Amino acid sequence: MSSAPREPVRFVDLAAQQARIRDRVDAAVKRVFDHGQYIMGPEVAELEAQLSAHCGAAHAIACSSGTDALAMVLMAKDVRPGQAIFCPAFTFVATAEVVAWLGAHVWFVDVDADTFNMDPTSLEVAIAAARAAGHAPVGIIPVDLFGIPADYDRISQIAAREGLWVLGDAAQSYGARYHNRQVGTLAMATATSFFPAKPLGAYGDGGAVFTDDAELAATLRSILFHGKGANQYDNVRVGMTGRIDTVQAAILIEKLAIFDDEIEARNRIASRYSDLLKGHIATPKVPAGLQSVWAQYTVKLPEGADRAAIQAHMKDLGVPTAVYYPKPLHRQDAYSHHGVAGGELPVTDMLSACVLSLPMHPYLDEETQDRVADALISAM
Ligand SMILES: *Cc1c(COP(=O)(O)O)cnc(C)c1O
């Protein structure tokens, strides 16, 4: 009856979250301004202690970004030219980028059509192909895409058999659960990101590494501070500027306080989306025993659907959508010379053509969820 134009839906609504915690964030930032320890202030150690208690990893090392978190682990493992590292092709570029930084070979692995995560069978094909090419396999970087943990049981078995380490790329999955274990405890080391739009986001860049290995933790703390030894003017290895800002740590402490509640909300919203869309489209599947943090809620359009037209129609109805990822990494100019398991990655290519991510954040009310679902159904 009302003909007033409705405001467009927000894909991620950081403003709603901010309204909830603004007073506490203001107070936390003010405390940092008052003590003035902008680098490695007390909030950094406090955030690390809280993260470690939250996920159960013995060590949490906060750092400058998710990309740097991945890179620092590779530096700590002394990754170098001639070595091979395995990662999915259906991911954000940072996963493979850090391997290329160090001059090692990337081997792209296909993914599972339901979870969008690394396919262990394709991983085995890639490892054999890398050895046949004369490369030295050293490590695997599974990605917990859209918030669902990868198949760590099977990947760890393959890693153990082949003598490889596992570094989890949990940039999208911090807070997720895998058979009663938390992300952060599922691999030799786990990297996450606090980019603002990630489930646990700062108001700027940030990241963390989780590990139970005390020696690796100490090496990472050295690398993130220019390879410091006894002090910052004692340089025992080549490092980088990998620290998190104290202000971001202070903000993250306030965000972590509401994070479990937000994860519950994301799960409620995702399951309601799935109820509304059931029978209309292929909705996300979370394997039994796992809990996602729903960094994205991503559907698969039917074969032959005109994705661009569907997106345009939904946009006209005020519903934004996104495609993660339209061009897989093995087809990117910067990475197309790297190895590909079995020579082609059919599931990765299929998904790149048909995925569509819907608005997802913890503050989507039911009316807005209905509007998103209706827009998608009408667009199809
Ligand atoms: C966001 C993201 C990263 C990089 O994190 P930044 O904090 O932006 O550097 C790495 N891997 C995946 C899968 C991501 O989604």
Per-residue confidence band for 1, with pLDDT thresholds at 50, 70 and 90: very low
| Ligand 1 pocket residue status of 172, Cβ below 6 Å | yes
The per-residue pLDDT for range 362-373, each reduced to its tens digit, is 999 999 999 999
The per-residue pLDDT for range 297-340, each reduced to its tens digit, is 999 999 999 999 999 999 999 999 999 999 999 999 999 999 99
Average pLDDT, integer, range 278-302: 97
For residue 315, being part of any structural domain is answered with: yes
| Ligand 1 pocket residue status of 239, Cβ below 6 Å | no
Calculate how far, in angstroms, residue 286's C-alpha sits from the geometric centre of ligand 1.
Answer: 21
Residue 2 has pLDDT above 60, yes or no: no
What's the CATH number where 357 sits? Answer: 3.90.1150.10
Task: For residues 244 and 279, state if they share a domain.
Answer: no
Calculate how far, in angstroms, residue 181's C-alpha sits from the geometric centre of ligand 1.
Answer: 22
Task: For residues 249 and 325, state if they share a domain.
Answer: no
| Ligand 1 pocket residue status of 66, Cβ below 6 Å | yes
pLDDT attached to residue 307: 98
Residue 4 has pLDDT above 80, yes or no: no
Task: For residues 236 and 319, state if they share a domain.
Answer: no
Calculate how far, in angstroms, residue 199's C-alpha sits from the geometric centre of ligand 1.
Answer: 12
The per-residue pLDDT for range 42-90, each reduced to its tens digit, is 999 999 999 999 999 999 999 999 999 999 999 999 999 999 999 999 9
| Ligand 1 pocket residue status of 190, Cβ below 6 Å | no
Report whether 196 contacts 202 (CB < 8 A): yes
For residue 89, being part of any structural domain is answered with: yes
Give the domain range for residue 343. Answer: 259-379
What is the residue with the minimal CA distance to atom 7 of ligand 1?
A: 66
The per-residue pLDDT for range 209-257, each reduced to its tens digit, is 999 999 999 999 999 999 999 988 999 999 999 999 999 999 999 999 9
The whole-chain average pLDDT of the chain stands at: 97
**Phi and psi at residue 211, to the nearest 5°:** -160, 155
**Number of structural domains found in the chain:** 2
Task: For residues 46 and 100, state if they share a domain.
Answer: yes
Report the distance separating Cα 254 and Cα 155, nearest Å: 34
The per-residue pLDDT for range 87-136, each reduced to its tens digit, is 999 999 999 999 999 999 999 999 999 999 999 999 999 999 999 999 99
Residue 3 has pLDDT above 60, yes or no: no
Calculate how far, in angstroms, residue 278's C-alpha sits from the geometric centre of ligand 1.
Answer: 30
Calculate how far, in angstroms, residue 34's C-alpha sits from the geometric centre of ligand 1.
Answer: 32
What is the residue with the minimal CA distance to atom 6 of ligand 1?
A: 66
Calculate how far, in angstroms, residue 2's C-alpha sits from the geometric centre of ligand 1.
Answer: 42
For residue 139, being part of any structural domain is answered with: yes
For residue 71, being part of any structural domain is answered with: yes
**Residues near 206 by beta carbon (within 8 Å), at least 6 away in sequence:** 62, 63, 64, 65, 193, 194, 195, 244, 245, 248, 249, 252
